[in-house]
């Protein structure tokens, strides 16, 4: 058992070693981010990103984005917690979010597979640059927040980069790759030529321990985390070890976990065997690449997940201060920690410590929940059912699926979330059932996510819904073109009418348009199935974008997602 310790930095760790609560996604959660301002961000295999905020003794759900079609491969926030970027290898896009306002700002389409991403500050211009590592080649692509590509960095890595982390104190980036390579570099040309100009005390890697992982054949480096003072960083690796390096010297300070772990906890033989089997399974999957090791606020404690649970070790003495989750059945993977004040800062040191609600947030292998370890002893139900269980869990019957389909058909409202704002639609399923069903069914499976408004004509309309992005593509939910549904009571007699685009009679697919003026000449030629009732200013902004000779906007406006109600 861990001895009682009254030092302040120990008091600011969670006291309770069992998790106090857990919250759901609808698929396996891959990553958790805890920002300095108390925002919690979680991502899952089904492409969803959820935003939460820390409250006095819990967290509160704020917003859910279907950010990607496919898995969210990586997320990364910038150091001050203002921006978030996410990347998916399935839809080959990067999404950029304003964390403070929980809004999506931009979409960047990639013509390569991205493996990692990070934020680097150009101090001389006082702006953030998003850097994206390319799978296999290790080329680093650079973008401004608006999505403009501003260059590439070649030769820093020559294989897949797993983590890119910026150290703002020294204006230096540390990155690592799947072959164990660890590199220091900078966007500042002077610092790149001589790291010593930034306060780094070596000129050549041979003077450091940065080859430590690379020397072990077949060992990859996973995730990098900094201490709050940026003087140390941790790296997890495929050999099961967590290493701590000194930033200015690149020297190895500590090594924890794996076969060298001290095994502070004695497990019953059968339980140890079960956990060992889980451990081996984890290391055979890509899920292990999300393993990280985080520092507490003081930089004196390192927390890392392993077979026994989440171990908190004092770096100076190597003493294990606590092991969280040792009695739980899960293998925890990706960790974040909160140790600040949620409300107004108390005056006295003692009251400050008492009012802090230290919380460890962690994912677990093959679990669709985020687990919270805190000071709360929760003897009741710990697992909050904040999501409807998935079809895989409930094995929905055919009848239930049919009921869901009928409910979808009855939906009369949708919100088209774009990179310029939200457009609220009123739909007419009773008048044009087949057309509304086509739109809702496509929207519900994320078909329109990431598509652009490819044709914009001022004083006429804005057109979208084509995955190919040029007006030549798109397919209906029925697999073939379907017939028009003309209704006498629905006319193109006012602006903001929502209609189907087509190539002639009965050629409806997935494309649609929203008028910006009355267009009576379109009556009985294009099926009306809704009208915009809010976000009309967003439509007008899109309408007034500058376009090329083909009426394609120079500035791309994308559909982020479509919410159905």
Known catalytic residues?
Answer: 455, 460, 463, 502, 513, 522, 526
CA distance 86 to 97: 8
Q: What are 59's strand-pairing partners?
A: 54
Q: What is the 3-state secondary structure (H, E, C) of 429-468?
A: CCCCHHHHHHHHHHHHCCCCCCCECCEEECCCEEEECCCC
CA distance 324 to 306: 10
CA distance 151 to 128: 14
| 401 three-class SS | helix
User: What backbone torsions phi and psi does residue 358 show, to the nearest 5 degrees?
Assistant: -60, 135
Closest CA to 221 of 239, 209, 244, 207: 239
End-to-end distance of the chain based on CA atoms, in angstroms? 52
DSSP labels, 56-117: SSSEEEEEEEE--SS---EEEE-TTS-EEEEEETTTTEEEEEETTTTEEEEEEE-SS-EEEE
Q: What are 290's strand-pairing partners?
A: none
CA distance 252 to 467: 49
Closest CA to 257 of 291, 307, 218: 307
Q: How distant is the alpha carbon of residue 547 from its chain centre?
A: 32
Helix (H) or strand (E) holding 397, with range, is: none
Query: Which two three-digit tokens encode residue 445?
Result: 């499976």
DSSP labels, 275-342: HHHHHHHHTTSGGGGG--EEE-TTSSEEEEEETTEEEEEETTTTEEEEEETTTSS--EEEEEEE-S-S
CA distance 245 to 51: 32
Residue 446: C-alpha distances to residues 70, 108, 123, 433 (Å): 10, 17, 38, 20
CA distance 359 to 376: 10
CA distance 104 to 67: 9
Which position has the token pair 């610092």? 191
């Amino acid at each position: 058992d861990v001895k009682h310790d009254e030092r302040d930095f120990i008091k600011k760790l969670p006291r309770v070693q069992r998790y106090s609560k857990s919250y759901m996604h609808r698929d396996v959660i891959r990553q958790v981010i805890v920002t300095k301002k108390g925002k919690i961000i979680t991502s899952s295999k089904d492409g969803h990103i959820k935003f939460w905020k820390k409250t006095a003794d819990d967290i509160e759900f704020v917003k859910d984005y279907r950010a990607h079609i496919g898995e969210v491969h990586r997320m990364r926030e910038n150091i001050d917690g203002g921006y978030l970027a996410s990347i998916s290898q399935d839809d080959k896009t990067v999404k950029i979010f304003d964390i403070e306002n929980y809004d999506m700002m931009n979409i960047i389409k990639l013509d390569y597979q991205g493996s990692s991403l990070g934020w680097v500050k150009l101090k001389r211009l006082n702006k953030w640059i998003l850097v994206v590592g390319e799978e296999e080649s290790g080329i680093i692509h650079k973008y401004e927040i608006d999505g403009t590509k501003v260059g590439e960095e070649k030769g820093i890595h020559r294989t897949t980069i797993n983590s890119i982390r910026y150290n703002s104190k020294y204006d230096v980036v540390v990155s690592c790759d799947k072959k164990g390579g660890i590199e220091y570099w900078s966007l500042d040309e002077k610092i790149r030529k001589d790291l010593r100009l930034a306060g780094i005390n070596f000129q050549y890697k041979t003077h450091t321990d940065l080859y430590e992982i690379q020397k072990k054949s077949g060992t990859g480096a996973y995730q990098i985390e900094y201490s709050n003072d940026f003087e140390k960083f941790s790296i997890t690796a495929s050999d099961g070890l967590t290493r701590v390096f000194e930033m200015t010297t690149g020297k190895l300070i500590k090594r924890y976990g794996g076969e060298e772990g001290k095994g502070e906890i004695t497990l019953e033989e059968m339980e140890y065997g079960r956990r060992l089997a889980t451990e081996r399974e984890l290391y055979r999957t890509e899920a292990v690449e999300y393993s990280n090791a985080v520092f507490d606020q003081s930089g004196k404690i390192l927390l890392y997940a392993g077979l026994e649970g989440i171990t908190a070790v004092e770096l100076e003495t190597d003493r294990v201060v606590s092991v969280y989750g040792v009695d739980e059945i899960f293998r925890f993977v990706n960790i974040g920690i909160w140790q600040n004040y949620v409300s107004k800062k108390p005056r006295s040191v003692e009251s400050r410590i008492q009012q802090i609600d230290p919380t460890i947030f962690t994912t677990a292998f093959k679990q669709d929940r985020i687990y919270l370890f805190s000071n709360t002893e929760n003897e009741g139900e710990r697992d909050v059912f904040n999501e409807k269980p998935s079809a895989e869990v409930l094995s929905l019957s055919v009848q239930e699926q049919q009921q869901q389909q009928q409910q979808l058909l009855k939906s009369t409202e949708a919100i088209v979330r774009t990179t310029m704002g939200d457009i609220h639609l009123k739909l007419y399923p009773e008048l044009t059932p087949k057309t509304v069903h086509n739109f809702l069914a496509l929207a519900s499976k994320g078909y329109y996510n990431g598509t652009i408004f490819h044709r914009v004509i001022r004083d006429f309309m804005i057109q979208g819904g084509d995955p190919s992005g040029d007006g030549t593509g798109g397919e209906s939910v029925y697999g073939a073109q379907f017939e028009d549904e003309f209704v006498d009571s629905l006319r193109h007699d006012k602006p903001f009418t929502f209609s189907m685009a087509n190539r002639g009679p009965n050629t409806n697919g997935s494309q649609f348009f929203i008028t910006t003026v009355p267009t009576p000449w379109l009556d009985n030629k294009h099926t009306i199935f809704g009208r915009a009732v809010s976000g009309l200013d967003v439509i007008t902004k899109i309408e007034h974008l500058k376009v090329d000779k083909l009426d394609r906007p120079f500035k791309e406006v994308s559909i982020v997602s479509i919410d159905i109600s």
